[in-house]
Amino acid sequence: MTKIEDFKKAAESFYKALNEFISDGTLSLIDIAYPEHDGNADADVVASMMELRDRLYAIKNGCEIGIRHLTDVVEPDDEPESQTR
């Protein structure tokens, strides 16, 4: 049970940080990527943004798998998704 509770706390912390990040919208990201507002991007910042995008995409994929696993356990009467994959 500790493993589940620990992961729930980590997920809540991540969700809070993610919510704050996405609430800023794209304008703040544009300001960071183009600090001089001259059409020239800061290559290091854009590279970091690309890395973050890749990590978020990996988290999205992992979340989908985790959701399937949990659903298979907590809703066993439904069609077993693990057998259809």
pLDDT in tens, 5-15: 999 999 999 99
Q: How many folded domains does the chain comprise?
A: 1
Integer Cα distance of 14 and 22 in angstroms: 12
Predicted TM-score of the model (pTM)? 0.78
* pLDDT tens-place string over residues 10-50: 999 999 999 999 999 999 999 999 999 999 999 999 999 99
Whether the Cβ atoms of residue 29 and residue 49 lie closer than 8 Å to each other: yes
Q: Which range of residues forms the domain containing residue 49?
A: 2-84
